[in-house]
Homo-oligomer: A and B are copies of this chain.
């Protein structure tokens, strides 16, 4: 089933001479499949095909694109257990996670299909002509969203399904009307190839143009660099580290024609635990947070890596309870030996800073590539003065900062880099007395959670997964939910255009029956 080759459009090709294997972190051995990296000629061919496909695909109707996305979902499901087994072999995640993440991926694809079938997402906006306006007549103007062109998607390490080959970036770009070229994440090329085969099958069944999707293999930076610099590529989606995302952003910004990069990068997701919550519910929150910190071996971009509270006996009690809960949890496997190594290095760097103490660290025997979850603590002044302490440690890790008072808590929040999320844990109505804290937090994050955990990113229209830099490279967009489509489109105006030559979305009769703004009123009615 796994060929080890690239999909250049619908063709499996592997003319290159560099090859490598993926790794099974649970078994601590290489996987059996051999993968061949894309050659420069294959990269060029994939991009050229995408550009040609764009000329046709941009004019596909919402129904046609929706049928394509639903077919991708069907074909992924049709891969059955084999896909889940490959996923587990390349990620170290348990079977339940594989099933859950596949479900999320299917849901994402179907959500975009539903959006396309409904059709109002194009934000059709119409101002009709006023021929007798003084001093000058007003022309008819009609606007809607149109796709940017071929999009390059960099799969993530931590979501082999939901933020990879046919994940949120690909689904949203295809929904927008943009062909997609995926750089398969090197840790799960086999999973990537299987999902790509589902996309290609779906494209054929639904008569999509050749080149609407390609899936390329590359272990170093050459493939990614070639794609981002290619003049026919018009936008980039990325999920991963700050270093990787920033490198792509810089490449894209320095092109003769700069292109947008939406990079969803690092985050330590600060959690503020207010005094009354510590006093009255510390046991509950300690258990909840031990679970959130270790969920998926801590390999979530929304992992709560920073706990902030005001020092005192209640915080001491909470700290002891958190330690107890954390140490109860059996360690789990990380995605790859290199990720485990980075986790250990990151943890040790923070542990070795002056003023840092270990609150909890799993002490039992652990298997290779398993992570020993760790909680550190430090006082507020030390945290403020040492920027290293706010570096992300990717894995089951959190640092608890004991602040002197509310003012210091606010200073710490103000000094943080941009974050995906911020959380407030509050006793009854307590939050009302902490307006400065919430105001400061809102400035630094894309989503605020009340009395909950940041992990678990709901796929729905009101979700923002993104935030001020470096949580994402452009805080004006989200990577999750149907509005993720807005990253790959631009508004376009037709002035005085003949009605029958307009896209259906903008024609007088409103043949699609979508919701439109007509002369500043939102309506489903035709223009008569």
- Which residues of chain A have a CB within 8 Å of any CB of chain B? 55, 125-127, 136, 138-139, 141-143, 146, 148-149, 249-250, 253-254, 257-260, 417-418, 431-432, 438-439, 442-443, 446-452, 456, 458, 460-464, 466, 468-470, 473-478, 483, 486, 489-498, 501, 515, 517, 520, 522
Contact B136 A456 (CB under 8 A): yes
Contact B495 A461 (CB under 8 A): no
Known: A250-B253, A448-B497. Contact between A492 and B476, CB under 8 A?
A: no
Instruction: Tell me the complex Cα distance, A452–B131, Å.
Output: 13
Contact B260 A249 (CB under 8 A): no
9 more CB-based (< 8 A) A-B contacts, given A125-B461, A139-B449, A146-B442: A127-B463, A136-B456, A141-B462, A143-B463, A250-B253, A257-B470, A446-B490, A461-B517, A461-B520
Chain B, residue nearest A259 (CB): B469
* Residues of B contacting A254 in the complex (Cβ-Cβ under 8 angstroms): 250, 253
Instruction: Tell me the complex Cα distance, A431–B476, Å.
Output: 38
* Residues of B contacting A463 in the complex (Cβ-Cβ under 8 angstroms): 127, 141, 143, 493
* Residues of B contacting A497 in the complex (Cβ-Cβ under 8 angstroms): 448, 450
* A451 shortest CB reach to chain B, Å: 6
Known: A136-B456, A462-B141, A462-B142. Contact between A493 and B125, CB under 8 A?
A: no
- Of the A-B pairs whose beta carbons lie under 8 Å apart in the complex, a sample of 21, sorted by A's number, is A125-B483, A127-B461, A127-B463, A139-B449, A141-B460, A141-B462, A143-B464, A146-B442, A250-B253, A253-B258, A257-B418, A257-B470, A432-B501, A448-B497, A449-B495, A451-B496, A461-B520, A466-B490, A466-B491, A475-B490, A476-B490
* Residues of B contacting A493 in the complex (Cβ-Cβ under 8 angstroms): 446-448, 462-464
Residue of A448, A451, A460, A497 most packed against chain B (CB within 10 A)? A460
Contact A458 B257 (CB under 8 A): no
* A15 shortest CB reach to chain B, Å: 30
Copies per complex of this chain: 2
- Return the contact of A492 from the options B438, B464, B489 (Cβ within 8 A): B464
* Residues of B contacting A522 in the complex (Cβ-Cβ under 8 angstroms): 515, 522
Contact A489 B476 (CB under 8 A): yes
* Residues of B contacting A460 in the complex (Cβ-Cβ under 8 angstroms): 127, 138, 141
Chain B, residue nearest A143 (CB): B462
* A285 shortest CB reach to chain B, Å: 14
* Residues of B contacting A442 in the complex (Cβ-Cβ under 8 angstroms): 146, 492
* Residues of B contacting A495 in the complex (Cβ-Cβ under 8 angstroms): 447-450, 452
Residue of A469, A474, A490, A520 most packed against chain B (CB within 10 A)? A490
Instruction: Tell me the complex Cα distance, A418–B492, Å.
Output: 13
* A45 shortest CB reach to chain B, Å: 20
Contact B498 A126 (CB under 8 A): no
Chain B, residue nearest A448 (CB): B494
* Residues of B contacting A468 in the complex (Cβ-Cβ under 8 angstroms): 257, 490
* Residues of B contacting A127 in the complex (Cβ-Cβ under 8 angstroms): 458, 460-463
* Residues of B contacting A259 in the complex (Cβ-Cβ under 8 angstroms): 469
Q: List the 4 shortest-distance A-B pairs measured between CB atoms, nearest first.
A: A253-B253, A447-B493, A464-B493, A143-B462
* A56 shortest CB reach to chain B, Å: 10
Contact B432 A496 (CB under 8 A): no
Instruction: Tell me the complex Cα distance, A250–B332, Å.
Output: 44
Chain B, residue nearest A480 (CB): B493
Instruction: Tell me the complex Cα distance, A466–B492, Å.
Output: 9
Contact A126 B496 (CB under 8 A): no
- Return the contact of A491 from the options B138, B450, B483, B494 (Cβ within 8 A): B483
* A437 shortest CB reach to chain B, Å: 12
Known: A127-B460, A461-B125. Contact between A478 and B498, CB under 8 A?
A: no
* A267 shortest CB reach to chain B, Å: 14
Contact B258 A449 (CB under 8 A): no
* A256 shortest CB reach to chain B, Å: 9
Contact B462 A55 (CB under 8 A): no
Instruction: Tell me the complex Cα distance, A139–B459, Å.
Output: 11
* Residues of B contacting A489 in the complex (Cβ-Cβ under 8 angstroms): 476
* Residues of B contacting A456 in the complex (Cβ-Cβ under 8 angstroms): 136
Contact B125 A258 (CB under 8 A): no
Contact B469 A258 (CB under 8 A): yes
Instruction: Tell me the complex Cα distance, A404–B338, Å.
Output: 60
* A143 shortest CB reach to chain B, Å: 4
